Amino acid sequence: MIHLQNVTLTFPDGDNRITAVDDVSLRGDNGTVTGITGPSGSGKSSLLAVAATLIRPDSGGVLIGDGGAAIDAAQLTKREAAALRREQIGIVFQQSNLLPALTAREQVQVMGRLGGTGRARRARIDARADELLDAVGLSEHAGKRPHQLSGGQRQRVAIARGLVHEPQVLLIDEPTSALDQERGAEIMQLIARLTRERDTATLLVTHDLIHRDLFDDLVTIVDGRIVQPDTASPGASPAVGGRGEAAIA
């Protein structure tokens, strides 16, 4: 589980500071996809960077884990945060950020080996890398380098790489923005399936609201703040629909 509690993040902006994330609270449970949407510049990537422990917020908590065992990642040192990322957090960015010289299999293996390189662990990671490449439909392309793969296939490698260390939290930023609609739909379905199979708490930033049926929850962010859905409309589920979507239409 990941629980963002009253997260506020500012950046320096000339003599002032700009508030990128403004008192945002949201919770992602294991085995669920929480969609995060909103206009460009509204703070979605900043929020994900805080969730990923890549940026420490000005204030607020980033609880990772369940109940009493949860850790507040916002309180960790850089070194502790890096260790937490290697164990508990998978990250998939907008661009797949693959290393040009490595094959698909090696991209996934290398990420798994960051957590240690004992021989037994290595064998385990390599087996898991192959299993994940199979799960994302790339077994036959495991020996290919990024330039030999399509955009959708590269994104699949990035997803496998994000899952190789069996993270509890999976954070994905606009995974379909460089893909056509059909390829984008496949990636969204893949993320939803893997979230259930691997029981990750997945936060997914996206503009593609045509896929919202795949999300368990949807929050809309405008100017760094969560916009409350219009719960007054009949049949509206608590977190989906209403004003939030209208705001980005």
Structural element, H or E, at residue 220:
strand 217-222
Binding mask 130-169 for ligand ADP (x = CB under 6 A): ----------------------------------------
When asked if residue 45 is in the footprint of Mg ion (CB under 5 A), the reply is: yes
When asked if residue 116 is in the footprint of ligand ADP (CB under 6 A), the reply is: no
How many of the other CB atoms lie within 10 Å of CB of 76? 18
Applying the rule CB under 6 A, the residues between 14 and 53 that interact with ligand ADP are 18, 20, 38, 40-46
DSSP class of residue 210?
Answer: G
When asked if residue 238 is in the footprint of ligand ADP (CB under 6 A), the reply is: no
Give the whole-angstrom CA distance, residue 224 versus residue 20.
Answer: 5
How many of the other CB atoms lie within 10 Å of CB of 178? 15
By a kind-dependent CB cut-off of 5 to 8 A, residue 146 interacts, out of ligand ADP, Mg ion, none, with none
C-alpha distances out from residue 209 to 38, 97, 152, Å = 10, 24, 19
Q: Which stretch binds Mg ion (CB under 5 A): 12-20, 38-46, 64-72, 209-217?
A: 38-46
| Number of chain positions touching Mg ion (CB under 5 A) | 1
Please enumerate in sequence order all residues whose Cβ is within 8 A of that of 19, keeping only pairs 6 or more positions apart, or say none: 8, 9, 10, 224
Of these, 11, 189, 193, 237, which contacts ligand ADP (CB under 6 A)?
A: 11
Of 112 and 184, CB closest to ligand ADP: 184
Tell me how many helices (H) and strands (E) the chain has: 7, 10
Judged by the rule CB under 6 A, the positions of this chain that interact with ligand ADP are 11, 18, 20, 38, 40-46
Judged by the rule CB under 5 A, the positions of this chain that interact with Mg ion are 45
